[in-house]
Amino acid sequence: MPPAHPWGTMRMRYALDSEQMQAAERAAVASGVVTIAELMDRAGHALADTAGARVPEGRIIVVCGPGNNGGDGWVAARVLASRGRDVTVLALRHPDLLAGEARVAAHAALQAGVPWKDCAKTGAGVEDFSSAGLIVDAIFGFGLHGAAREPYDAWVRRIDDVGAFVVSADIPSGVDSDTGEAAGPAVVADVTVTFSALKTGLLIGEGAASAGEIIVADLGIGDHVRDIQDPLRLPGADEVRDIVPWPAPADHKGSRGKVALVVGSEVYRGAAVLAAGGALRMGAGYVYVVTLGGAADAVIAAWPSAIVRSVRVASDGSFAHAEDVLAAIPEADAVIVGPGITCSDEAREVVLALLGSYEGPLLLDADALNVLAGDTAPLHDRRAPTLITPHPGEAARLLGTTVEEIERDRVHSARCLSGESLVCVLKGSGTIIAGAGAVTLVRTGGPELARAGTGDVLAGMIGTLLAQGCGAHDAAVAATYLHGRAGAHGAARLTRTALIASDLPESIPEAVRELAGG
């Protein structure tokens, strides 16, 4: 059996960015529910509880930074000392130079007799690391954007070099809590105790690799967290199960969705086969494969239940005439275009014709995106539901930027390629789905999916759900979740190394059975 997904049985959870988290805290304080001092005290106690439980014996070093995250660390040190633990604070800013509640927390710890060292200028305290069994990282919290500056960057590196068990406060220092980017050195934690809500940067990019186990500590402001608009959604199996249009006793093939796939070419015959497999295994009543030449023969051989509509071939082996395609899709409840169609001028005409003439839900993948490189206006201008599924390279071409810029802030990149009627599925490690009034992170799937053709299967799966009446955002969420679980099942059977894209459709039934509960 494949490993269970860590959030597989949970209903919807949410993650906040730094601005949203600050808004929730401000609202809680303004309502009189809590004070900043009380939030800091609760955060420090949560840190102390986790640190003490994970490493019940040995010396503890708490590295406290210059802001409120450092204040949380001072509280944790005081609580740990009161419980009889051998704890020392390494202060990266002198307590007298701290501001507000952090200064109060530091002086409360000093009055309680907590040992400390002034490390702001001298670098003193480095030798203390050698005897530490546990390090509490309280240098930076959710307010850090960009690289940690001197001298803090050196302390981040020292924490990583020690090899002790590390508990980070709110987010590993050096990680941007909004994007997950580590622009400089970042702490690699064993456990991150994050306060009040998950932070976006803990779940994507380098933040996901640095966070270790994530514990959300309830600081008593949950109502205000839940009031935040447009958080990052984190669906679990229960949420996805509610999206899928499961077969009903009275269903027939005409009621289970008619999806048309405009796919393939003489050069890329396999793309048509893979996309058709995803659509069929997702349960479409009819799958019309609009393709040409050898690609048509390949689909017929692989999937006899698909209805193949072969159209004229251009001299380069791609689609010759856009009107052929439009004539082949009149019954379709949804259309997929792109996998394997090439980037020829004729392929571009097919894409533009569908964008301009087809009035139902339309999914664009692969070459259908590449032929629009640098010109997203046709996508944004379309009023009918439109869904795009770029990987980072395709997203970069659409936006006229680099893959590095796309990956630097995946949520922002996906938002730029979305709108009220336009949904973007930004594929990669932590797939971001943006548009139609929501932003969702789907975390199923792993490196076993990092090979050519798996995206074609996903396109077919999403297309079926669109044809069955799901909204574009929901269709993307459910199909992406199941696609990831299918990858896990396939890897459990064939290994992450040996799984290939053509194996993936055969694992979709296992993912569906798992989601359905039997």
Give the C-alpha separation, 413 to 390, whole Å: 11
At 12 the pLDDT is 61
Ordered domains of the chain (ranges, CATH):
13-234 (3.40.50.10260), 237-244+257-516 (3.40.1190.20)
Each residue's pLDDT tens digit in the chain (518 positions)? 555 544 444 456 999 999 999 999 999 999 999 999 999 999 999 999 999 999 999 999 999 999 999 999 999 999 999 999 999 999 999 999 999 999 999 999 999 999 999 998 766 777 878 889 999 999 999 888 888 888 899 999 999 999 899 999 999 999 999 999 999 999 999 999 999 999 999 999 999 999 999 999 999 999 999 999 999 999 999 999 999 999 999 999 999 999 999 999 999 999 999 999 999 999 999 999 999 999 999 999 999 999 999 999 999 999 999 999 999 999 999 999 999 999 999 999 999 999 999 999 999 999 999 999 989 999 999 999 999 999 999 999 999 999 999 999 999 999 999 999 999 999 998 899 999 999 999 999 999 999 999 999 999 999 999 999 999 999 999 999 999 999 999 999 999 999 999 999 999 999 999 999 85
Q: Which residue has the tokens 């395709």?
A: 394
Enter the pTM of the model: 0.93
At 123 the pLDDT is 65
At 135 the pLDDT is 97
Q: Which residues contact 322 (CB under 8 A, 6 or more apart)?
A: 346, 349, 350, 352, 353
Q: Which residue has the tokens 């929730």?
A: 24
Cis bond before residue 151 (omega within 30° of 0): yes
Residue type, 359: E
At 7 the pLDDT is 40
Give the C-alpha separation, 168 to 175, whole Å: 11
At 425 the pLDDT is 98
At 10 the pLDDT is 43
State the burial class of residue 415 (Cβ atoms within 10 Å of its Cβ: 0-12, 13-18, 19+): middle
Give the C-alpha separation, 75 to 113, whole Å: 12
Instruction: Please say whether the beta carbons of 392 and 403 come within 8 A.
Output: yes
152: nearest Cα among 170, 138, 167: 138
Helix axes 36-54, 18-30, angle to 10 degrees: 120
CA-to-CA dists, residue 484 to 10, 88, 447, 457, angstroms? 16, 45, 10, 11
